[in-house]
Structure formats: C-alpha cells, structure tokens
Structure 1
Amino acid sequence: MKNLVLRSFTGVIYVALIIGSIFLGPYSFLCLFSIITVSCLWELSGLLQAMPSSQETQTNPKSSKGTLGPRLMACAGGLVLFVSSYLFASKTCGIGILSLYLLFVVFVLVAELYLKNDNPIQELGKLFLGQFYIALPFSLLNFLAFDPTFDPTFNLSSSYSPMFVGSLFLFIWLNDTGAYIVGVKFGRHRLFERISPKKSWEGFFGGLFFTLSCAWLVYNLIPDIAFYHWLALALIVVVLGTWGDLVESLIKRTLGVKDSGKSLPGHGGFLDRFDSVLLAVYGMFIYVNLFIRS
C-alpha cells in the first residue's frame, strides 16, 4: 500500500512537470528536457560502464578504469546536442551551432587514442549508444516543438508549438494505461515473452484502443490537422512506443538489472519512464515532416 501511494505521488508530480514544461513555453521546455536528457544518459552510461570492458578486466578488477569520466562525457555530449538542436530549431542560431556537437564527436574519437583503454571500440560503443539511443531522439523533440513556418525574430514563443510534443506524451500515457488495464484483466497471449514476460497482445490492443480514442479527442481540440493524421500519429506512437519499451527491457535484461535507476520513487529511473518516448519520437518526427509540414 505504501509503495502504491509513493508510486502514485511520484506519477502525479511527473505528469505535472512534463505537461507544465511543455505548455508553459519554450524556456521551461528547454530546462526540463535538458535535465531529462542528462539524467537518462547518466543512468544508461552508469549501467554500461559497470560492464567489464575486456577479459583482462574480468580477471583483474583493479585494471578497470573509473566510470565517472565516461559518464560525464556521455552527459556532456547529450547536453550539447540537445541545446544546439534547440537553438537551431528555434532559429535562435543558424545550422552552424550544430558543429559544436561535431567537435564533441571528434574530441571523443581523438581522446580515445590517449586513454589507453583495454577495449577502445567497446568504450566508444558504450558512449555512442547513449548518443543515438537517448540524446538524438530527445534532440528531435525540438524540431517537433518549433514550427519552421513561423518567424521567431521578435518573439521566440511565436514559433513554439506544443501540440505535437504534448500529443506524443499524451498518446504514450494513454497507451501505457490501456495496455496495463486490459493486460491485467484479459492478458493471455504473450507479446514478447523472451524480453518482457508480462506484456500481452490483449494489452497491446487495449493500449491501441485507448490511444486511437484519444486521437479523436485531440482532433476535436486541434481540428486544423486532419483526423487521419492524428490516427496515424497515434498508431505510430503505439507501435514504436511498445518497441521502445521492449528495447529498454532488452538492455536491462542483458545487463542483469531490474530498473535503470532509483531517481523516481516507485517508478525506477528516468530511463524507465521515458523508454517508450525514445523510438516514438523518430516515427512522429518523420511523419510530421513528410506529411503534415511538407
């Protein structure tokens, strides 16, 4: 009972912060999602750095390098990519701002020449997995949040549009809720038992029903975008969000951990809460730019 109360309290605060940061404006969006990006990278890099990097490290633990440096490097790279993407998407800076991240990539590759790691390829793999798996999708949120057709010269908020980012999280939450309710009550057929034994096909379709119903409500609130677009976005979020959840489950199962962290009482870590977002962002970004904003 105590855990349920704690989980519910954390969940309410979590939802309030996400909704508030998205709809209050571009600066609150920048601040909160910068923190989320860094927090997710900190958790993932910590889990990956706990892995032995070579047979020598397994047999001689004293040869293992410290983990603080690689974790800070991963977080720094993710923050540079997110903030530079924000500045470019909001038209605060030109495309040249993204060269800051290219300098980070060059620095990481050259630095590996001098670090004398036992397995430099594996160390680079750990770092860049976090960049592609976490930093890149969160950075793409900026391009959903800012409408490129508006000129923010005199007012940054004029180009900031929270509807796609807001609907992304709304669809994910409704999908999770529907999948849980229907899965607990009617779940019989396992969706992906090898990776996540509790997920069921019944839960998947329950989440899909909840999310498609939500798409109808969103359309009534934002009728400027055709209903079939909202249906397509809802379907994309359900499918890719489910895969995103499974990918994180695969990572945790491979590393032998239950949660990515303990930052959110009753919910695990930040990565546990945002795993569904990471792949869904790609799908929504592609669809919005190909079929809605084109």
Structure 2
Amino acid sequence: MNNLQQRILTGILFVCTLVGSIAIGKWTFFALFILISYLATNEFYHLAYRAKARPNRKIGIATSIYIFISFFLIASGLVPSKVTLGIIPLIVGLFVYELYRDSKVPFLNLAFTILGLVYVTTPLALFNFFVFPPSVTGTPVYSPHLLMGIFIFVWINDSGAYLVGSRFGRHKLFERISPKKTWEGSIGGGVLTMSAAVVMSRIFPQYGLIDMVVVALITVIAGTLGDLVESMFKRSIEVKDSGSFFPGHGGLLDRFDSIILAAPMVYFYFRLIS
C-alpha cells in the first residue's frame, strides 16, 4: 500500500469513526472523546519533551480526564457546575509535586503542563456543551447536530483551501510558519464553508441561518489560525508531525488543530447570545 492509499484509507476510517460515534449517542461520543482527550494531551506532553521541558504527565493527564468527565456531567445535567471545583486541588498538586522533582526548569515544566490543559483538554471538553445544548424544558437532551456541523465546516474549509490554493494560490498567507498556505486558498475555503452554512441551516432548522453563518465564519478564521499555531509549535521543536497516531496523516493534534481554537470561540458566541 503506497502513501496515498494509506492516507485515503486512514482518512476514511477516521471520519467514519468520528461521525459514527457522535451520531450513535451520548455514550459513544463520551467514550471516543475522552479517549481522544487523553491521547491528544499525552501527545502534547511528548512534544513538550522535545522542547526540553518535563511536564508532569501523570497529574496533567489525570486533570485532563477530570475536566472532560466533569464537563460531560455538567452539560448533561447530571451534576451541578460546582463539581469543577475539583480542578483546584489538582492544579495545586502540580505546583506541590514540582517541589519534589528537583528540576532545573520548574517554570518550564509547570507552564507546559498547564498549557496542555488549556490548549488541548479544555477545547475538547467544550464539545460536551455543543452536544447538550440548552433545552426549553430545562433537561439537556443529546443533540449532535452542532458538533457535527463544526467538523463538517472544518473539513470543507481545509479541503477547499487545499484545492483552490493548489490551483490558484499565488500570495502567501503566512510564509514564515506555513509556506504552502495562500490567501487564495483561504478565501476559497471560506467561500465554500459559507455556502455549506446555508445548506446546514436548512438541514438543522433549530439553528438559524445567522447562527450557522457565524459558526462557519468562526470556524474558517479560528480554524486557520489554529492550524498555523500548531505549525508554529512544531517548527519551534523541528518536527514535521505532532505524532504518528494516524498513518500518513500524523498525530491527533494534526487532525484537531483547527477545531482546537474554533471550539472555544463557538462556545463563546453561543454563551454571548444566550
């Protein structure tokens, strides 16, 4: 199997697993994304080792799992929001534990450990609030439409930017970080995503046209910036991929880099207008 065939097969399996797990129900969603949260946070900490840091993986990953579970329970209405207070002793534990590590770079270790929680874990945990939107009855009901729409927007934007950019791209978008990205590709991907937003507003009528267009716009802008941010991180430690989880595609962070910055902004938008 050549590299192209491997990439296509891996991509198809990834999309089918992701869409299937989200569509089936809340427990398949939970199982998949708590696993992704764990693996992606761990992948980030492995990258941090390349940056000469020694993040506290054990407490960091334990905190990551706690954040995802608590957000799921809160969003689904099973526990009150004060359950997030449990994060406080875990964060304090990071600082206390660092006292006993006898490291020459405690600032760096703590910074990377907490950055993994902010940059990777929290955006993924916010998915819980997308699949449990506010209900008029007050009882949250699992609804995968918004999260599914965001992923579709990300895929359309990425594919559109690649196709338009490879054909018409002339002006570099951010050459220092990503030499292949062009303004033409980004605009092309954005136009296709906006068009998809119109269609999505018809498929998911509970979200109006304005909401879908705003979500698409956020996804295009924040998603592109998220891709660039991850490229910046990888360039700083001179690696091509964040990992090797997906044969031919790189690591989990390579697949979720766009949505990592888009998810918090989509959450911010819906909280702002609620």
Does the TM-score normalized on the shorter chain lie above 0.5? yes
Aligned residues of 1:42 and 1:72 also touching (Cα < 8 A): no
Which residue does the alignment assign to 2:9?
9
Cα gap change, 1:224/1:147 in structure 2, threshold over 3 Å: closer, same or farther?
closer
The reply to whether residue 216 of structure 1 matches residue 198 of structure 2 is: yes
| Of 121, 132, 148, the match for 1:166 | 148
TM-score relative to the length of structure 1: 0.89
Task: Find runs of 4+ consecutive structure 1 residues off by over 4 angstroms.
Answer: 150-153
TM-score relative to the length of structure 2: 0.96
Q: Deviation per CA, 1:27-75, whole angstroms, max 9, x where unpaired?
A: 111110111111111111001023324xxxxxxxxxxxxx6x8233322
Structure 2 distance, partners of 1:147, 1:260, is: 32
Structure 1 distance, partners of 2:78, 2:215, is: 28
Which residue does the alignment assign to 2:250?
268
Gaps of 5+ in 1: 54-66
Which residue does the alignment assign to 1:175?
157
Q: Deviation per CA, 1:255-275, whole angstroms, max 9, x where unpaired?
A: 110000011001000010000
Q: Deviation per CA, 1:121-161, whole angstroms, max 9, x where unpaired?
A: 110011011011001111111111112326686xxxx6111
Q: What secondary structure does 1:260 align onto?
A: coil
Aligned length: 274
Q: How does 1:66-85 map to 2 (within 5 A)?
A: 70-85=56-71
Aligned residues of 1:261 and 1:269 also touching (Cα < 8 A): yes
Structure 1 distance, partners of 2:100, 2:13, is: 44
Aligned residues of 2:40 and 2:253 also touching (Cα < 8 A): yes
Structure 1 distance, partners of 2:35, 2:29, is: 10
Gaps of 5+ in 2: none
Cα gap change, 1:49/1:282 in structure 2, threshold over 3 Å: closer, same or farther?
same
Aligned residues of 2:153 and 2:219 also touching (Cα < 8 A): yes
Q: How does 1:58-73 map to 2 (within 5 A)?
A: 70-73=56-59
Amino acid at match of 1:5: Q
| Of 258, 263, 267, the match for 1:281 | 263
Deviation, 1:208, is 0.4
The reply to whether residue 252 of structure 1 matches residue 234 of structure 2 is: yes
Structure 1 distance, partners of 2:49, 2:136, is: 43
| Of 196, 200, 214, the match for 2:182 | 200
Amino acid at match of 1:223: P
Deviation, 1:3, is 0.6
Amino acid at match of 1:149: S
Aligned residues of 1:188 and 1:202 also touching (Cα < 8 A): yes
| Of 113, 117, 135, the match for 2:121 | 135
Amino acid at match of 2:163: I
Aligned residues of 2:59 and 2:90 also touching (Cα < 8 A): no
Q: What secondary structure does 2:56 align onto?
A: helix
| Of 217, 232, 252, the match for 1:235 | 217
Structure 1 distance, partners of 2:267, 2:115, is: 20
Structure 2 distance, partners of 1:122, 1:150, is: 46
Which residue does the alignment assign to 2:132?
146
**RMSD (Å), alpha carbons:** 1.6
Structure 2 distance, partners of 1:142, 1:97, is: 15
Structure 2 distance, partners of 1:51, 1:284, is: 31
Which residue does the alignment assign to 2:88?
102
Q: What secondary structure does 1:115 align onto?
A: coil
Structure 1 distance, partners of 2:50, 2:163, is: 35
Aligned residues of 1:40 and 1:271 also touching (Cα < 8 A): yes
Aligned residues of 1:42 and 1:71 also touching (Cα < 8 A): yes
* Larger Rg over CA atoms: 1
Instruction: Judge which range, 215-224 or 256-265, deviates more.
Output: 215-224
